[in-house]
Structure 1
Amino acid sequence: MGGESKQTSTTQSQTQPWLEAQPALKNILTQLQGGLNNTGVTSAENGALNTIVQNANNAAAKYAPAVDNYATTLLGGGGATAQSGNINDAYQAYLKATQPLASNTNYDPRTTPGFSDTIAALTSDITNATNGQFAAAGRDLSGYNQQALGRGIAQGVAPTIMAQYNQNVQNQQGAAKDLYNAGNTTAGIQTGLTQQDLANRGQGVTAAGAATDAANTGANATLAAEAQRRGIPVQALGLLAQIGIPIAGLGSQSNGTTTQTNQMSGVQQFMGITGGLSQLFGGSGGGAAGGIGTAANMIKFISDRNAKEDIEEVGALHDGTPVYRYRYKGQPGFQIGLMAQDVEQYAPEAVGKIGEFKAVDYKLATERAVRKVA
């Protein structure tokens, strides 16, 4: 259930707060109108934009290939591991030269190159000296001669043998240590090169973006320049409009006719009808739930939950029927009453329909509560 009402009014107004300034304002507007022909891009602006585009294209042609090559090189590792083979070859050569001594556990001085010649020379010197002494005394080749010779050789050779043995041990351990350090150094260098290779590749990813930007420099400059070519006239027109439109509106005169159509819902129409009935029958309530005097015995009240909003339960009748506070949709005032959906559960005869909404005969709906009190 719905309807509408229309209201038409004609208004006319005239304002002349700037009457004395009208000649000056018209002069300003005339000048603004003349400026409409000068909102395009000037020759100087056009030349500057063309220069920007040309410079950008030159820069792209000059630097983009170098940037692209740099990015490609970095993405390939930047040559960080190019010397890896040479470093490994050097280590292998060092290993080959050091390995025999580093892995030798035979410390016998007699296996030392040149050691036998040293011992032989030392033994010969001791023999000659000892035998010479006994020969001078006429006792050469005697038992004492042999005993003294043996003792002299032992005393003279033993320190040399011991020293050479210790030197062999020291040399072997030193070589093993040097080989170990060389291995660690080589591994560290190789690891560093690998890490640098990875770092270069990571920088290559960033440089690839820079290479793309460099290649797009000319195109981006062209787009920016064209945006300026489009934007300059629009900005100029906007400035003229900001100045001209307010001035043009000063001292204006307006006439007009307005028509207003109000669409009313079924609830609003019913509220109007019941309000009229309330006045007709002398009631004091202005709303559907507020009572309309003796008219309450003639009609049912719209109590459909679907016609209401802001619904809150505030109490109950003596028979337990809930009582609510609510507003009819589209109406500002709050009402207190029942819900048709509750009443029809125990007194369907008290519920009817007004248009699309359910309505309640409050006398029939409250009979049960009255009997409870009685």
Structure 2
Amino acid sequence: MGGTSKSSQTQTQQLAPYDPAKEGLQGILSGITSMVPQAGLSGKASGALDTIESNAANASSTFSPAITSGTLGLLNGGGATANDSAIKQNFADYKGLLSSTASGANVGNNEALKAQLDQIRTDVTDQTNGMWAAAGRDFSPGNFQALARGVAAGQAPVIAAQYNADADRALGAASAIYGAGNTTYGLLNGTNAAANENFTNGVGTAGKAIDASNYGANAALQAEAQRFGIPASQYATLLGSLAPVAAQFGQNTGHSEGEQTMSGAQQFAMIAQGLGSLWPKGNISFGAS
């Protein structure tokens, strides 16, 4: 028959901190503890944030209406088609000027041409009739035929030249008007495009204006962040350097348990050994000598 015996042991060891590290650790912990109240929002940081919020609100009320209006204007074409009706009217006027010239309604319709033709007719008539009267054949059929031919020959080049001149002048004037209209509206469209470009540039610079307003506040925030961050970083660096060394010292606690199984002979021997330790040493007397 066998048996099982168990044993349990707990050991605790107290180690003192490493003396050279002790002072440094206490200083770092003291520095970190003193910084805890500073971890909140400082007065300067709060004021800087208030300034940013105020600038943002002012910028919104200042730039937002103009940006919204301009954006809607650009979405509606930015005024690029505002001159369409005038351009169409200009073309209609151009067609009207050409139509009257093409119909021939203006050919010969001027006082200067009529007076010139009348003078030619008078000169040819006087010359032709005089010649036929000298020959004694005035008022004859030949006289009238010669007069008609003379007048036609005298007036035809003048009429043709005047026709060409009138047509050239009309076409030139129409082209000049059309060209002037295109030039004018081209300039208007150019200035309109420039205005749209300027507005687009203004939208792009609105953000820079806000950034400029917030520059001082942002600089204050960065300074406050560095005012806290630099010492905090230094303490963290020192703590990271000394903590591993300090972690090697302190209180260590250990616990161990054991279990052993013995045979019947081993148990009997252990019991006998125990009893033997209780047995008196030396001779035992049972009464008589």
| Aligned residue number for residue 100 of structure 1 | 100
Change (3 A) 1:44 1:198: closer
Q: Which has the higher contact order (CA 8 A, sep 6+)?
A: 2
Distance 2:164 2:156 in 1: 12
Aligned to 2:280: none
* Larger Rg, first or second structure (1 or 2): 2
Task: State the match for 1:250 in structure 2.
Answer: 245
Letter in 2 for 1:62: T
Report what 1:91 is aligned to: 91
Q: Which range moves more in the overlay, 22-31 or 149-158? A: 149-158
Would you identify which runs of 4 or more consecutive aligned residues in structure 1 move more than 4 Å?
12-16, 111-117, 129-135, 143-157, 173-204, 231-238, 256-259
2:28 aligned partner:
28
Aligned to 1:120: 118
- Residue 82 of structure 2 aligns to a residue whose secondary structure is coil
Secondary structure in 2 aligned to 1:56?
helix
TM-score w.r.t. structure 1 length?
Answer: 0.43
Q: Which runs of 5+ in 1 are unaligned?
A: 1-9, 260-374
Instruction: Look up the match of 1:162.
Output: 157
TM-score by length of 2: 0.53
Number of matched pairs: 230
Equivalent residue letter for 1:119: L
Q: Deviations over 1:63-104 (max 9, x none)?
A: 111111111111111222222212322332332233121244
> Percent of pairs identical after alignment?
19
Counterpart AA for 1:57: A
Equivalent residue letter for 2:156 = I
1:1-374 equivalent positions in 2, closer than 5 A? 19-20=19-20, 22-104=22-104, 113=110, 115=113, 118-129=116-127, 131=129, 139=134, 141-142=136-137, 154=149, 158-169=153-164, 171-172=166-167, 175=170, 239=233, 240-252=235-247, 253=249, 255=252
Change in CA separation of 1:37 and 1:186 when aligned onto 2, cut-off 3 Å: same
- Aligned partner of 1:310 in structure 2 is none
The 10-residue stretch of structure 1 (69-78 or 171-180) with the greater mean CA deviation from structure 2: 171-180
Indicate the RMSD between aligned Cα atoms, in angstroms. Answer: 5.6
> 1:327-373: CA deviations, max 9, x gaps?
xxxxxxxxxxxxxxxxxxxxxxxxxxxxxxxxxxxxxxxxxxxxxxx
Unaligned runs of 5+ in 2: 1-10, 257-289
Q: What amino acid is aligned across from residue 168 of structure 1 in structure 2?
A: Y
Aligned counterparts of 1:258 and 1:195: Cα–Cα separation in 2? 92
Q: Is the 2:79–2:192 Cα contact (8 Å) retained in structure 1?
A: yes
CA offset at residue 112 of structure 1? 5.0
Aligned partners of 1:78 and 1:201 also within 8 Å: yes
Change (3 A) 1:102 1:15: farther
Distance 1:83 1:188, change over 3 A: same
Secondary structure of 1:79's counterpart equals coil
The answer on whether the counterparts of 1:87 and 1:186 sit within 8 Å (CA) in structure 2 is: yes
Determine which structure has the larger helix proportion and give its number: 2
Query: 1:157 and 1:127 mapped to 2: Cα distance?
Result: 11
